[in-house]
């Protein structure tokens, strides 16, 4: 007997068979490249904002420090979303037929 989850996955596959198509080696490489790029962008913003945060905390500027904390969280979320959008574009790309 199949679970509700298995039945839902089966229906999903039947409704869009292309959605489960395996990735090409080029797509896999591009996805890995996107991960590397966004890992670097995230680290860069994190280093910059943490430095600012440390300076503000050392100066006792709690309100500005809280703003920087929120900015850091927002930047990380924004970059994560951008990364997923880029990866989804790669996943949705179909190999063009050879001419």
Domain ranges across the chain: 23-88
Q: Are 46 and 79 in contact (CB under 8 A)?
A: no
- Interval 46-76: pLDDT, tens: 999 999 999 999 999 999 999 999 999 999 9
Q: What is the mean pLDDT of the chain?
A: 87
CB 23 within 8 A of CB 89: no
pTM: 0.70
């Amino acid at each position: 007997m199949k679970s509700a989850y298995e039945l839902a996955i089966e229906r999903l596959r039947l409704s869009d068979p292309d959605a489960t198509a395996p990735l090409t080696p080029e797509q896999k490489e591009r996805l890995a490249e996107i991960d590397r790029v966004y890992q670097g962008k995230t680290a860069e913003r994190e280093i910059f904002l943490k430095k600012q945060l440390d300076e503000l905390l050392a100066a006792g500027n709690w309100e500005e420090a809280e703003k920087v904390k929120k900015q850091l969280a927002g930047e990380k979320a924004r970059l994560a979303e951008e990364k997923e959008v880029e990866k989804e574009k790669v996943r949705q790309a179909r190999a063009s037929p050879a001419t």
